[in-house]
Structure 1
């Protein structure tokens, strides 16, 4: 097993970063990707969302929450549709970006996803479990330090059927959205930055900062929290040799916010986190990192991650 400090210091190259080729360092290809990647992502997302909205209208079921349709829908159901819509749009954008990368750098799609021969659903499940453990730890802390939040799934004022639909829809939507974000930030971006520096700590920092800025919410607390989690998910990717764990943990973390925090809608206010509340984010990060290291020490996974 490779010591974590050796990876951070650049004395050992994580296999996930080793999947790059000389083409990834070609300045012309990198420049072309910088132009074509966003265009492909936007075009794919736009086309898929239009297809979804068009199918809804053809079936007589308009469901464009972002455009203002279904204004009379109960808020949990409206949030359910909204989160699934966002997930589909993000997934289409990620697929467009991967297609552009595939054509420009001439690498197989899976090389941006995992070092394993196939996607490891078991590792994704471990990531989701780590997210649950982290949420439980935060819940225990919040008993001593109460935090504000709606906890919509516990609200007896909401019909049980709507709460069940909400739980199912946001679980699916966040799983899709987490796959998309991990592919873009911990798949393509992590490897692309990694070809230009052996300083893994710097790769992690850049990844976390760009991930935070991408959400376009510039509250200092929110930026710091997202940057920290972005770095944690990036470390999980490098340590375990793929995106699977990060997808599971990322989805669970978002799910915890939706179920025990706020109902997410297009009109939701930007996230604001007091700097004094960042201790909760640190607890979340420590728990996930501990789970990553524990899982890394499982013999079969460690052998794969170091292959």
Structure 2
């Protein structure tokens, strides 16, 4: 029912196109630019000029602002409530967001702790109170907006729009999952580890797509994504990652793409899907992931009007 939220007579394909086309154009430009420059060196030079925290703001700020712009576009131009872009439920379920956030935050903390105690020589304790807590404030303000933009764009706006056009759940699931992974192709991690890391990025896209379609809303994906980026940025950084921060630990090891890249996709994500499916009693997997979209949904969904 989540995709059908946009399937009303108010859907305007012309107004829908500028956001995805503009974003795709920026992705292509970003990728082409990354092929002609050393992304890692560019980030280091920026940090040397303005400092870690301000560089973080400049790198994350645009996507944080883009989240607000996207919500404005949906609310004002499409006249679609933010609630309907977020969930098929009568109201946004903050309990789902928080459960997903704290579950993945806990798992992330455990995994980083195990890695540290298993090979302490690979890490440097990077904690400095003033820079860390300054970064903490910036991260709490900006990272949830940055991750929310990615979720609202890929699993919300793009998934709903493609679903309306194709009358299918499978096509938006496949397209948005792959595009989410491809969006990260210009990250410095790709240059260091090779394209094998795209398995992780695209696999994460499929995982978040399943969460959205099976749970009929973005809440679980929003919570997971925020925890992944926020807790990760606070716990650990490295000289070769996209996020270089005043984190607690700094990874000194030489990056390599091995089983640790595949592990989340083939083991951890399926376990999380099992946990979520049991807790929220998911059913009808085939229909929710590959089923068809009804022709028009206005009468069914416009019964709930919210000025969110």
> TM-score with structure 1 length normalisation?
0.65
Structure-2 change in CA distance of 1:83 and 1:288 (3 Å)? farther
Structure-2 change in CA distance of 1:228 and 1:118 (3 Å)? same
Q: Tell me what 2:225 maps to.
A: 250
Q: Secondary structure at the match of 1:195?
A: helix
Would the aligned equivalents of 2:61 and 2:142 in 1 still touch at CA under 8 Å?
yes
For the pair 1:228 / 2:203, whether they are aligned, the reply is yes
Deviations 1:150-206 (A, max 9, x none): 57xxx1x54233233333432332212111111111110111222245654543222
Q: Tell me what 1:294 maps to.
A: 278
Q: Secondary structure at the match of 2:180?
A: helix
Q: Tell me what 2:216 maps to.
A: 241
Q: Tell me what 1:194 maps to.
A: 163
Would the aligned equivalents of 2:56 and 2:244 in 1 still touch at CA under 8 Å?
no
Mapped partners of 1:18, 1:138: distance in 2: 38
The 5-angstrom pairing of residues 36-55 of structure 1 reads: none
Structure-2 change in CA distance of 1:158 and 1:39 (3 Å)? same
Gaps of 5+ in 1: 1-14, 43-64, 299-306
Q: Tell me what 2:3 maps to.
A: 17
Q: Tell me what 1:91 maps to.
A: 64
User: How far did residue 126 of structure 1 move?
Assistant: 0.7
Gaps of 5+ in 2: 26-41, 246-254, 283-300, 302-308
Mapped partners of 1:34, 1:150: distance in 2: 46
CA RMSD of aligned residues (A): 4.1
Mapped partners of 1:278, 1:69: distance in 2: 28
Deviations 1:11-61 (A, max 9, x none): xxxx2112122448x7xx43542236655999xxxxxxxxxxxxxxxxxxx
The 5-angstrom pairing of residues 43-122 of structure 1 reads: 71=48, 78-102=51-75, 105-122=78-95
Would the aligned equivalents of 2:64 and 2:145 in 1 still touch at CA under 8 Å?
yes
Please identify, of 194-203 and 279-288, the stretch whose mean Cα deviation from structure 2 is larger: 194-203
Structure-2 change in CA distance of 1:143 and 1:79 (3 Å)? closer
Question: What is the aligned length?
Answer: 251
> TM-score with structure 2 length normalisation?
0.65
Would the aligned equivalents of 1:135 and 1:284 in 2 still touch at CA under 8 Å?
no
User: How far did residue 211 of structure 1 move?
Assistant: 0.6
Structure-2 change in CA distance of 1:147 and 1:180 (3 Å)? farther
User: How far did residue 297 of structure 1 move?
Assistant: 2.6
Q: Tell me what 1:274 maps to.
A: 257
Structure-2 change in CA distance of 1:267 and 1:174 (3 Å)? closer
Mapped partners of 1:149, 1:16: distance in 2: 44
Q: Tell me what 2:286 maps to.
A: none
Q: Secondary structure at the match of 2:89?
A: coil
Mapped partners of 1:125, 1:160: distance in 2: 27
Structure-2 change in CA distance of 1:243 and 1:85 (3 Å)? farther
